[in-house]
Chains A and B, each alone.
Chain A
Amino acid sequence: MAAGSADKFSVLLPTYNERENLPLVVWLLARTFQESGINFEIIIIDDGSPDGTQEVAEQLEKIYGSDKIVMREIISVPFSSGTAYIHGMKHASGNFIVIMDADLSHHVSPSFMYSGFNLKQKEGNFDIVSGTRYKGNGGVYGWDLKRKLISRGANFLTQVLLRPGASDLTGSFRLYRKEVLQKLMEKCVSKGYVFQMEMIVRARQLGYTIGEVPISFVDRVYGESKLGGNEIVSFLKGLLTLFATT
């Protein structure tokens, strides 16, 4: 079934200490959806942030209406993308789910949700539309040469080992049909970067169709958190695990 006027997009936003960025992300999404005439809701899943993220979320709920902004907190379960999505989906009333980062790294421009994800989904009736930094006019801002090299090198290795049929496996700006995401959540077990990779690999196994849309990744925090040796090691471990088990 292709996207039409009866569709509703549920955006899942896992947050931790995003008091500054959350209002901006919500504002951008709301404006984009309203301009495109797409019915939407934004579900904020907070990991018990101590910086007042939830308080800001509640204010946003008052401004935009509680049918548009839903706030949930996870406190009793270890927080990861996986648990955040599972938790978020329970409250999602849309038939399409958008997952993205709440720190403004996933650039949401007015033409974007509509001509990007929505149109692409309609074009091929895809089950999943994946944002890619590596194709078309997708790209990044704020990365130095070393970071870009690691990114391209890791992606090359992933393509060689997994041959996934998607150019950006570690990206987390994606659109899923709700039932597709639910099915994938049951099957995926990894954490972090590898979780995003596993979703695509499993989706292929289950025969789901995947379309791609170029996205801009604007990294404003890179200066504070360089990609450490630990992350690289765990990425490699995860990649080899996927290689050996799928």
Chain B
Amino acid sequence: MTRLGRCVLGLVLLGSAWAAVALAPPGLRLPEPYRQVLLPLPLYLLVAFGCYSLATVGYRLATFNDCREAAAELQEHIRTARDDLRRRGLRF
């Protein structure tokens, strides 16, 4: 199954479970405290995921390495390379 397929399947299963709780007729409802938690759950999860995403991307952005030594090393390599190649007969 494709990733999209699995994702849709998962959402459908969880969605129906949630709908069963949300749309249950008065006779079959879960006790009130449970309903109070379960009904807004999808929204809470969405918001939680949003916060997690922001925090993760923010953290990764802040810790994104700046390779200064690599850049400096590269400049030096370029100089050495050009000299050596010229000596070996390369016409730039």
Contacts and interface: CB of A to CB of B under 8 A. Distances in A.
A218 B85 contact: no
Given A24-B77, A63-B85, A218-B71, A139 B60 contact: no
Contacts of B88: 63
B8 to A, nearest CB: 10
Q: Which of under 10, 10 to 19, 20 to 34, or 35 or more describes the interface residues of A?
A: 35 or more
B68 A141 contact: yes
B90 A139 contact: no
Question: Is the contact region of chain B dominated by helix, strand, or loop, or is it mixed?
Answer: helix
B60 A28 contact: no
Interface residues of B, number: 29
A245 interface: yes
B62 to A, nearest CB: 10
A56 B82 CA distance: 13
Interface string B60-86: 110011111011011001100110110
A227 to B, nearest CB: 15
B16 interface: no
Interface stretch (A3-11, A79-87, A123-131, A142-150): A142-150
Contacts of B74: 104, 107, 218
B65 A23 contact: no
B45 interface: no
